[in-house]
Amino acid sequence: MKNLFKIIILSCLFLYSGYSLAQGEKDKVEAIRVNFISEQLKLTTNESEKFWPVYNEYMDKVKAVRKNLRQSYKKAPEELSDKEAEELYQLDLKSKQTEAELYKQYSEKIKVIIGAKKIVKLREAEEEFKRKVMKAIKDKDD
């Protein structure tokens, strides 16, 4: 009986480990992205102390908006009723609008902390990282 209990516990642990693998890998990509931005920006200690909490908060919100929208696309467009399609369309608009507003709101905050030059550099670094990701995906497909 004791052995059965141990086997059940061990099985649960292995299943749990496997389940969380995908999330771990996403975090790895995120860590590389943050490191890349950090290297590009070359923040001073004082800037870094204030910048990262604000930037992390911004990213948490943007990710939540995108995830929410992504999860709403459950059905194929042909399977949607008119009402569902309208709701999805409205959510899409609202999500894009929220993203734009968050972008503006947090850009203002970040600008006060690191200045206009570094915020331009930040955008450039973000875009550069996206390009690298795209290139990696394209190279794989080729």
Partner 1 sequence: MSRKYNIFKVLVFIGIIFLFSTQIKGQATFDSLKLKLPKHYFKTVIIVDGYNKPNQTFTDTNDFLAKRLKSYGLKQSSLSFYTPLVTYTDVDTVKHITKNTHILLTGNYMRLRPVFDGIKQHNLVKMGIGLRFIFNSGKKGVWFVETSPFITKDVTYASKGYFRMASTVIYSYNVSERFNWRIGATKSFMWGNKNYWPFIGLRFGRLDKVNLSIQFPRSINFNVPVGPKLTMSFYTKPQGGMYNFSNHDSIYYISNASTFSYTRYELNSGFRADVRVNNNFNFYIAAGISSKNNITFYSEKINSKRPNLPYKTYFFKETLGPTIFLNIGLVFKFGKTRTFYKDRNMYDVMDLNNTIDVGDNNGGAGNPQIPITPKTKKDVNLNSIQDLIDYNDF
d(CA 61, CA 67): 10
Q: How many residues bind partner 1 (CB under 8 A)?
A: 61
Question: Shortest CA distance to 110 belongs to which of 57, 73, 63, 32?
Answer: 57
Which member of 32, 42, 75, 85 binds partner 1 (CB under 8 A)?
32
Question: x/- site string to partner 1, residues 35 to 54, per CB under 8 A?
Answer: xx-xx-----x--xxx-xxx
User: Smallest gap, in angstroms, from Cβ of residue 85 to partner 1?
Assistant: 19
CA distances (Å), origin 121, targets 47, 101, 125: 14, 20, 6
87 contributes a contact to partner 1 by CB under 8 A: no
The answer to the question of residue 80 lying near partner 1 (CB under 8 A) is no
Q: Phi-psi bin for 42: left (phi > 0), alpha (psi -120 to 50), beta?
A: left
| Cβ atoms within 10 Å, residue 110 | 19
Does the footprint of partner 1 cover residue 25 (CB under 8 A)?
yes
- Contact 103/122 with Cβ under 8 angstroms? no
Residues that bind partner 1 (CB under 8 A): 13, 16-17, 19-21, 23-32, 34-36, 38-39, 45, 48-50, 52-54, 56-57, 59-61, 63-66, 68, 70, 94-95, 97-98, 101-102, 104-106, 108-109, 112-113, 129-130, 132-133, 135-137, 139-140
